[in-house]
Amino acid sequence: MGKKDFFDKPKNVKKFFIVFYISVIISLVAELFIHKHVYFPWEEYTFFYASFGFVAFVFLILIAKHILRPIVKRKEDYYND
C-alpha cells in the first residue's frame, strides 16, 4: 500500500468542505458591503457574479456532455482491433 494523501482521509475532506463553504458565505456577505464599479446595468444586481458563474458552469457542463462528448467518444472496443 502506498502513502495516503491529505484527501484520502474522510475527516480531512470534511474539514476542506467546511472551510470552502465558510469562504463562499464570507464572499457572498462581503459582496453586500463592497462598492462595485459597474459598466453595465445588470452588474448592479445583488449576487450577479455568483449567479452568472453558476449559470456559466452549468452551461459548460451541458455543452461538454451533450455536444462535445459524442464528438470525442470512441467505441468500447476501439483499442482492441
For 5-19, write each residue's pLDDT tens digit: 888 999 999 999 999
**Distances, alpha carbon 35 to alpha carbons 30, 31, 46, in Å:** 10, 8, 11
CA 40 centroid distance within chain? 25
Domain extent at residue 57: 42-75
Pair (29, 47) in one structural domain = no
> Considering the entire predicted model, what is its pTM?
0.64
pLDDT at 65 over 90: yes
Inside any domain, residue 48: yes
pLDDT tens for each residue of 13-56: 999 999 999 999 999 899 889 888 899 999 999 889 989 999 99
In a shared domain, residues 2 and 30: yes
- Residue 54 cell numbers, joined: 453558476
Q: Could you tell me if 30 and 50 are in contact, meaning their C-beta atoms sit under 8 angstroms apart?
A: no
Buried b (16+ CB within 10 A) or exposed e, 53-71: eeeeeeeeeeeeeeeeeee
Same domain, 30 and 46: no
Within-domain flag for 5: yes
Separation between Cα atoms, residue 24 and residue 19, nearest integer Å? 9
How many domains, in total, are found in the chain? 2
Question: Percent of the chain beyond pLDDT 90?
Answer: 59
Does a structural domain hold residue 81?
Answer: no
What is the structure's pLDDT at 1? 59
Q: What is the pLDDT of residue 23?
A: 96
